[in-house]
Amino acid sequence: MGSSFTVYFDGTFWVGVVEICEPGGQVRAARHVFGVEPTAAELLDFVRHDAGRLLDRALADPAVPPGRETDPGPPSLVNRKRAARQASREQVRSGPSTAAQAALARALEESGRARRAEARADDEGREERRRQAKVDKRKARHRGR
């Protein structure tokens, strides 16, 4: 018997789903709607206080035989060191962002692009003025001034 808890954004709300895979290949599941994106502290609090009720709800629901396309197969034994490496990789990986965060990141990127283009234009204008000053100075020396 294996279980997993997944938090994802379904387009409107952040949802947590617990899936319990039984030895016969049947699956039981229950979900919890968080609403806004939960922080790590909120997830830890949820696991400590409410995860038991969610598991009870999943176990009370009828088991469903897995479909062919979603059949995870029998749970395989995973080397504990490999499981630890995978868990550390998932912790390091940045979590999903909200649509607002993505919009802010795009706006920041656009303003950076505009600022770099403006700085490049200023640099080109400054170089053109320096070049013209050198030419004017050279012409003045040639004329004897």
DSSP code per residue over 80-106: HHHHHHHHHHHHHSPPP--HHHHHHHH
H or E element: which one contains 115?
A: helix 99-143
Cβ-contact 25, 66 below 8 angstroms: yes
pLDDT in tens, 34-88: 888 888 898 889 889 888 888 888 888 777 766 545 555 566 777 889 888 988 8
Quick one: which of 103, 87, 95, 101 has its CA closest to 38?
A: 95
- Residue 17 dihedral angles phi and psi, to the nearest 5°: -125, 130
pLDDT in tens, 100-116: 566 667 777 888 999 99
pTM of the predicted protein model: 0.45
